[in-house]
Each structure stands twice: as C-alpha cells, then as structure tokens.
Amino acid sequence: MSINEDEEILYAEEVYTRASWKKTLLTLFLFIMVLTLGVLATTIGASSLGISESLHALLAELIPGEEVSHFAQVVVLQLRLPRILMAIITGMSLGVAGAVMQGVLRNPLVSPFTLGLSSGAACGAAIAIVLGVGILGTGQYIIMINAFLFSLLTMAVVYGIARIRGTSIETLILAGVAMGYLFSAVISLLQYASGNEQLREIVFWLMGGLYATKSESVIILIPIVLFITILLMRYSWDLNAMSAGEEVASSLGINVSQVRMICLFLSTVLTASVIAFTGIIGFIGLVSPHLCRLMIGSDHRYLIPWSGLTGALLLLVSDTIGRTMISPTEIPVGVVTSFIGVPFFLYLLVRRKRRWWQ
C-alpha cells in the first residue's frame, strides 16, 4: 500500500494517536505518583520525626553541607528508606510478573501463586528453617537461596510436565496448581514436625512482609528487577499477538513456544528473587494486571510498566499503613494489601461492565 505524504489524517489514526499520548502521559503520572508517595512514606513512622526533619535527612544525602541529627539519619536512611524501596521493587516485580504470566498463558487467573511458585518458595524456605539445610549448603542465606531455587525448580517441573503433552496452556496451569498443593502438604508436614521457634518462623515467612529488609537486599534486587523488567517489556508485541491465539501469533512470525518459555522463565526469576527476601506476598501479582487492564487496556507495551507501577503503589501504601496504623505493632502487609486492594478491585469490576474472561 502506498502512502502519500500530503494525505489527510484519517479518523482512526487520530483516535489511536490521541489514545497513545494519553496512555504515555498517564504512565508518567503514575511513575511520579510512586516517587512522591515513596518520599512521603519516609516521613511517617513509629519514631516521632517531623516531616521537615525526615525530608532534610533525605536531602542531606543528596546535597552535601546539609546538617541533620544522627538519629534522623539512621531512622530515615537505614530503617525507612530500604523498606520503602523494597516495597516498591517487590510490588513492581509481582505486578510485572503477573501481567506477563497472564499474558503468556492467556488466562486471567494466573499468578505466581496459582502456578505454584509461591508455594514452592515457601516449601524451600520451610525446609531450610526446619532442617537447617539448603540446596547450596548451609549459612546465613540458606533460607533465601532455598526459597529462590525451589521457585525455579517448581517452574521447571511444571513446564516440563506441560512439555510432555506439547506445551498446552491448560496442562501447564493445572500442573502448577497441583504442584502448589503438593508443596502446601510438605509445608504442613514440616510445620507439624517443627518446634516452637521454627514454627513461628515458618508462619512469618508464609505471611510475608518487609520488616526484615536490609539495605544490601535492596542493592542486590534493584538491578535484577530493572533488568528483567526491561527484557520482558521487549516482548510486549509478542505477548499482544499471542493473546489472539497461538495460530495467529505463529502466522505473525512469532516462535510461540520459545517466547512462552523465555517469558515464563524471566517472570519466574523476577518473582523468585523478591519473594526469597520477603516471603509470600499474594494478591498483587494476580490483581495488579487486572486493575491496569480495567484502566488502560491490554496492550502490553503499557500494561507491563503500569502493572509494575500499580503493584509498587499498592504494596507501598499497604506497607506504610501496616507499619504505622497501630505502631509500634505492625499489621502484616498481606492483610493490608487485601483489605485495600480487594474492595477497590471489586468496585472496578462492578462499575466497568467489561467481561473479558468469558
């Protein structure tokens, strides 16, 4: 089809261009919102630091010559900031992984949870807690490393099972659900067999949370999460095409099984890396993509960053509320996430009359 330069602008062209601009601006807006709330969150907490004092402590890091008390510096930079950054990257990872997994498997019910990854990680952690041994020897990080490796192992098994029957999506999801049950059974067994102290630790791990965040974990995670997110975003077009079905995607020149394997692997690594540090944080991976689809549609070029930012926002707000509402005691973040997220999600479901999962 030849295109003349001086041709009139067509109606559909205009509609699309306008919609794209709107989505780009909204993405920018969401990004700024995450940053702003992140900064704001550094000013609230159990210790009685004023807003200006907290902000000063933050600024002092960036601008040399600013004077702040040592106490403010410790609270803001060593206690609050790592945890806030952790909330943002964890939420982001879960949101991105959820969007990609749902897209690649064409199923709105998929999340790291339904595919058995979370249970796998929990099982790995529980084994390390109770038996004190990990796949890679013993030491300080065995719980995390075990959780991480068990997650990857779960995906490998699930994918391998599905592969036997020609990578059917349904087989893969069902295998994931089944593996989840198996791991839950192992966790129950370990809980039953474990002593008081260990039991407590397992329960905490299963509930998940950001209270144990260390600066080192954040420093390890940021590059991993950003790198994988960018890699996954490069598959946006393929994911869009795959949502129309394997045949159409393949006729558009996409190697469906290869893209599926790469995307599942990357999103598994993404999920596994964060939950190894935080324990199980459910809900965000499932719901964040849906929230975003209701707001900006399913184009993965926008959906992936949006779902990540929404996940970050959701977890940041939940964790901030969780750690401040009845401080010095904390409400587990999973509880807050569900209390805030579920009503919001249900509201959007009812208000919008879109029924794409039929």
Partner 1 sequence: MKLSVKELSFGYGSTSTLEDITMEVDEGKIVSLVGPNGAGKSTLIKCIDRILKPRKGTVFLDGKQAAMLTSKDFSKMMGYVPQSTHEVFPYTVFDVVLMGRRPHIGWRVNANDVKIVAKTLKFLGIEDFASRYFDELSGGEKQKIAMARAIVQEPEFLLLDEPTSNLDIRHQLEVMNIVKKLVLQRRISAVMAMHDLNLASRFSDIVVMLKDRGIYTMGDPVSVLTPENIEKVYGVKSEVKNGHMDRPYIMPLEPI
Q: Which residues bind partner 1 (CB under 8 A)?
A: 1, 3, 7, 10-13, 15-17, 19, 102-103, 106-108, 234, 236-238, 240-241, 243-248, 250-255, 293, 297-299, 301, 354, 356-358
Least CB distance to partner 1 at residue 3 (A): 6
Kindly tell me which of 65 and 253 has the beta carbon lying closer to partner 1.
253
Least CB distance to partner 1 at residue 288 (A): 14
Q: For residue 303, give the nearest of 320, 290, 312 by alpha carbon.
A: 290
Least CB distance to partner 1 at residue 307 (A): 12
Kindly tell me which of 175 and 259 has the beta carbon lying closer to partner 1.
259
Which run of H or E residues covers position 200?
Answer: helix 196-207
Least CB distance to partner 1 at residue 154 (A): 24
∠ Cα 259 264 265 (to 5°)? 100
Least CB distance to partner 1 at residue 299 (A): 5
Q: For residue 342, give the nearest of 284, 273, 259 by alpha carbon.
A: 284
Least CB distance to partner 1 at residue 7 (A): 8
DSSP class per residue in 299-326:
-HHHHHHHHHHHHHHHHHHHHHHHHHTT
Kindly tell me which of 10 and 63 has the beta carbon lying closer to partner 1.
10
Beta-bridge mates of residue 134: 137
∠ Cα 297 303 306 (to 5°)? 115
* 297 neighbors 26 (Cβ within 8 angstroms): no
Report in angstroms the alpha-carbon separations of 179 from 25, 154, 172, 261, 272. 41, 7, 10, 18, 16
Beta-bridge mates of residue 137: 134
Give 164's Cβ-side CA count (13 Å radius).
7
User: Which residue type is seen at 237?
Assistant: W
Least CB distance to partner 1 at residue 100 (A): 13
Kindly tell me which of 51 and 109 has the beta carbon lying closer to partner 1.
109
Kindly tell me which of 162 and 241 has the beta carbon lying closer to partner 1.
241
Kindly tell me which of 145 and 296 has the beta carbon lying closer to partner 1.
296
Kindly tell me which of 214 and 354 has the beta carbon lying closer to partner 1.
354
